[in-house]
């Protein structure tokens, strides 16, 4: 009888097929190299001591933290300028998950491990491996942590016994109630790359020795932070200030007073961004903001460069994290998606695409960890001069190269999900949108390529000898005979690049990006070869090293041979772009 009745509200028929979604599991235990890398680099004892923590954290990242991070994307920060009675409050509202991530960051020692140094020179690498695991799940809470770490490093350099003791301890605590995050306010409207000419903010000395800052900070990420380091020009009694780099000094400020009122700061607006939408990024008017001078006068840029080093390394970790997360999801989906009657994992063409992506991801991971290792050795004063030189050179190289690769891998990764990769509530497009910032902030690719030149020039080439010697060490020793040809080529490439630099001084600026890419590819090649060695290397490591080396390791030489940097050709480019 019921069969004959037409029920107007019957459930919609949608077919029986249900596509299984991609999933992630414990991000430490499922990682292809982490456990082996840690044993090789830190030794079995330290590995044994830290592995239980990494195992629990890998699980937390895949479950609790990933959910909190996704909540931050769904519940984005809001700015309320006025309260109901018309009082200007400039309240930046962040969601509970964002606040919880701050607590977790403290509890897990995501800053503290590097400063308490329980595992001596391995502590920094341990911290950075945790940050790398945290980053792709963290709803970009990794952004304030990068600046917090950079600020802690700067305050430590200033001296933990100075007036900076209290804020320093807030930054490195594991107690969520006391934990502070920091901002890094360098960019103004006129320039984020050219900070020397872009900074218009002035600092006026007060009777008590403090300063008041007046200016407009054009990009300030994680503006809900407790403190910030920033740059300003001290105004002398006659109202003038020194132009350019030499006029810049570094200041410390707290964003709010004890009652929670903003420190003479107006939050003009929150930026409407392509990605990183979880993070409040604001334009700030500093209108008499009370601040302390924390660098020698005129030494603002060199003083804040500690922060730049740290945040650039964090950027590298985040880029490697994007690539690994993409690979994890794509890999899992390949076992769940069928097309033309087969799981897509069984199509060699699909597998080849994934293999190329995996090679990039492994290279980025090894480079990120290498820089973290060098930093840890320097901080514990066990590094030699060559290692310090290498850290200086590899920091911009690692940031610029991995950031670009992260965008490419994230983009390719979306395609591996077909149409679903384009659908916002899968969470997948967010990966691409968020990765696009990695080559922009903390120095664009060109600016970092120029930084590579800066450190080559400043060290009078010492960074290059350190580079070549380390390449030799990594490519020597018990390397699989399958890599005989590659190891020779990698060593020769390093030498050829150094020869190119020596003989083509006039072309270096225009070649800077290709040069940096070449240095990155050569160094990563040596890392992959080194990692494939016994006792921790496996057959897939040899294959990955081989595949990496099959690309052009020296694009700068290829372009040079084609005459690409000759002034006539460059002039032609100007006509081509701007006058045709």
What is the binding site for ligand UCC (CB under 6 A)?
135, 142-143, 146-147, 184, 186-187, 192-193, 195-196, 221, 245, 301-302, 305, 308, 311, 314-315, 318, 441-443, 447, 451, 454, 458
Please choose which of ligand UCC, ligand FAD, none residue 245 contacts, taking the beta carbon within 5 to 8 angstroms, the exact cut-off set by kind.
ligand UCC
Which stretch of DSSP H or E encloses residue 215? strand 211-221
Residue 173 CB: number of other CB atoms within 10 A?
Answer: 17
DSSP one-letter string for 422-444: G-GGGTHHHHHHHHTTTTTTTS-
How many angstroms separate the CA atoms of 365 and 318, rounded?
10
Choose between 133 and 483: whose C-beta lies nearer to ligand UCC.
133
Please choose which of ligand UCC, ligand FAD, none residue 220 contacts, taking the beta carbon within 5 to 8 angstroms, the exact cut-off set by kind.
ligand FAD
- Report residue 466 as tokens: 């350190």
- Which of these ranges, 33-41, 243-251, 299-307, 436-444, lies near ligand FAD under the rule CB under 6 A? 436-444
Please choose which of ligand UCC, ligand FAD, none residue 572 contacts, taking the beta carbon within 5 to 8 angstroms, the exact cut-off set by kind.
none
Choose between 155 and 318: whose C-beta lies nearer to ligand UCC.
318
Choose between 34 and 308: whose C-beta lies nearer to ligand UCC.
308
Asked whether position 268 contacts ligand FAD by CB under 6 A, the answer is no
Choose between 195 and 213: whose C-beta lies nearer to ligand UCC.
195
> CB 219 → ligand FAD: shortest distance, Å?
3
Choose between 221 and 328: whose C-beta lies nearer to ligand FAD.
221
- Which of these ranges, 165-173, 190-198, 295-303, 474-482, lies near ligand FAD under the rule CB under 6 A? 190-198
Q: What would the 3-class secondary structure string for 247-310 be?
A: HEEEEEEECECCCCCECCEEEEEECCCCCCCCCCEEEEEEEEEEEEECCCCCCHHHHHHHHHHH
How many angstroms separate the CA atoms of 75 and 165, rounded?
35
Q: Please name every residue paired with 182 in a beta bridge, in sequence order, or none if there are none.
A: 227
Which stretch of DSSP H or E encloses residue 230? strand 227-234
For residues 444 to 473, the per-residue mask of contacts with ligand FAD, x marking binding by CB under 6 A and - elsewhere, is: x-xx--------------------------
Please choose which of ligand FAD, ligand UCC, none residue 454 contacts, taking the beta carbon within 5 to 8 angstroms, the exact cut-off set by kind.
ligand UCC
Nearest CA to 359 among 224, 243, 531, 228?
A: 531
Do the beta carbons of residue 123 and residue 376 sit within 8 Å?
yes
How many angstroms separate the CA atoms of 233 and 76, rounded?
34
Give 521's Cβ-side CA count (13 Å radius): 25
Please choose which of ligand FAD, ligand UCC, none residue 566 contacts, taking the beta carbon within 5 to 8 angstroms, the exact cut-off set by kind.
none
Please choose which of ligand UCC, ligand FAD, none residue 465 contacts, taking the beta carbon within 5 to 8 angstroms, the exact cut-off set by kind.
none
Do the beta carbons of residue 471 and residue 530 sit within 8 Å?
no
Do the beta carbons of residue 182 and residue 155 sit within 8 Å?
no
- Which of these ranges, 51-59, 149-157, 219-227, 470-478, lies near ligand FAD under the rule CB under 6 A? 219-227
DSSP one-letter string for 468-536: HHHHHHHHSSS--GGGHHHHHHHHHHHHHHHHHHHH-GGGHHHHHHHHHHHHHHHHHHHHHHHHTSTTT
Please choose which of ligand FAD, ligand UCC, none residue 191 contacts, taking the beta carbon within 5 to 8 angstroms, the exact cut-off set by kind.
ligand FAD
> CB 323 → ligand UCC: shortest distance, Å?
13
Asked whether position 181 contacts ligand FAD by CB under 6 A, the answer is no
Please choose which of ligand UCC, ligand FAD, none residue 453 contacts, taking the beta carbon within 5 to 8 angstroms, the exact cut-off set by kind.
none
Q: Please name every residue paired with 184 in a beta bridge, in sequence order, or none if there are none.
A: 229
- Write out the residues near ligand FAD by the rule CB under 6 A: 183-187, 191-194, 219-221, 273, 276, 281, 437, 440-441, 443-444, 446-447
């Amino acid at each position: 009888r019921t069969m004959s009745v037409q029920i107007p509200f019957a459930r919609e028929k949608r077919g029986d097929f249900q596509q299984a979604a991609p999933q992630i599991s414990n991000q430490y235990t499922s990682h292809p190299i982490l456990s082996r890398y840690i044993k090789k680099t830190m030794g079995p004892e330290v590995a044994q001591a830290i592995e239980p923590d990494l195992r629990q954290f890998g699980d937390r990242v895949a479950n609790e933290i990933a959910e909190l991070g996704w909540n931050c994307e769904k519940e984005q920060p809001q700015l309320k300028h006025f309260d109901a009675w018309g009082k200007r409050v400039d309240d930046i509202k962040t969601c509970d998950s964002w606040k919880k991530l701050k607590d977790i960051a403290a509890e897990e020692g995501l800053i503290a491990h590097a400063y308490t140094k329980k595992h001596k020179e391995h502590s920094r690498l341990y911290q950075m491996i945790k940050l790398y695991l945290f980053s792709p799940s963290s709803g970009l809470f990794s952004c304030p942590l990068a600046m917090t770490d950079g600020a802690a490093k700067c305050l430590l350099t200033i001296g933990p016994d100075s007036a900076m003791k209290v804020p320093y301890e807030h930054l490195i605590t594991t107690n969520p109630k006391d934990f502070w995050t920091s901002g890094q306010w360098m960019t103004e409207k006129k320039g984020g790359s050219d900070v020397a000419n872009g900074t218009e903010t002035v600092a006026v000395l007060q009777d008590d020795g403090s300063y008041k800052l007046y200016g407009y900070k054009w990009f300030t990420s994680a503006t809900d932070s407790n403190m910030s380091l920033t740059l300003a020009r001290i105004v002398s009694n006659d109202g003038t200030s020194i132009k350019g780099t030499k006029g810049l000094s570094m200041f410390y400020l707290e964003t709010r007073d004890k009652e929670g009122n903003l420190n003479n700061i107006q939050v003009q607006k929150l930026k409407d961004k392509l990605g990183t939408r979880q993070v409040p990024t604001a334009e700030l008017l500093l209108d008499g903001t009370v601040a302390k001078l924390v660098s020698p006068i005129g030494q603002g840029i060199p003083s804040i460069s500690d922060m730049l080093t740290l945040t650039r390394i964090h950027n590298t970790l985040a880029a490697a994290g994007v690539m690994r997360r993409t690979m994890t999801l794509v890999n899992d989906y390949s076992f769940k998606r069928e097309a033309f009657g087969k799981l897509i994992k069984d199509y060699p063409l699909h597998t080849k695409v994934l293999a190329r992506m995996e090679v990039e991801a492994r290279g980025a991971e090894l480079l990120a960890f290498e820089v973290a290792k060098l930093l840890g050795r320097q901080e514990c004063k066990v590094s030699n001069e060559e290692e310090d030189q290498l850290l200086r050179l590899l920091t911009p190289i690692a940031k610029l190269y991995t950031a670009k690769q992260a965008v490419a891998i994230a983009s390719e990764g979306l395609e591996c999900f077909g149409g679903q990769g384009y659908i916002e509530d899968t969470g997948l497009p967010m990966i691409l949108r968020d990765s696009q910032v990695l080559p922009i902030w903390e120095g664009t690719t060109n600016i970092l390529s120029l930084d590579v030149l800066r450190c080559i020039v400043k060290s009078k080439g010492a960074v290059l000898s350190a580079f070549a010697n380390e390449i030799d060490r990594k490519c020597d020793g018990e390397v699989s005979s399958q890599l005989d040809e590659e190891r020779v080529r990698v060593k020769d490439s390093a030498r050829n690049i150094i020869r190119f630099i020596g003989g083509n001084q006039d072309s270096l600026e225009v070649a800077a990006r290709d040069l940096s890419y070449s240095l990155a590819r050569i160094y990563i090649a040596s890392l992959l070869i080194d990692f494939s060695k016994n006792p921790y290397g496996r057959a897939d490591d040899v294959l990955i090293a081989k595949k990496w080396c099959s690309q052009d390791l020296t694009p700068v030489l290829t372009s040079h041979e084609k005459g690409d940097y000759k002034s006539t050709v460059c002039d032609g480019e100007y006509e081509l772009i701007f006058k045709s």
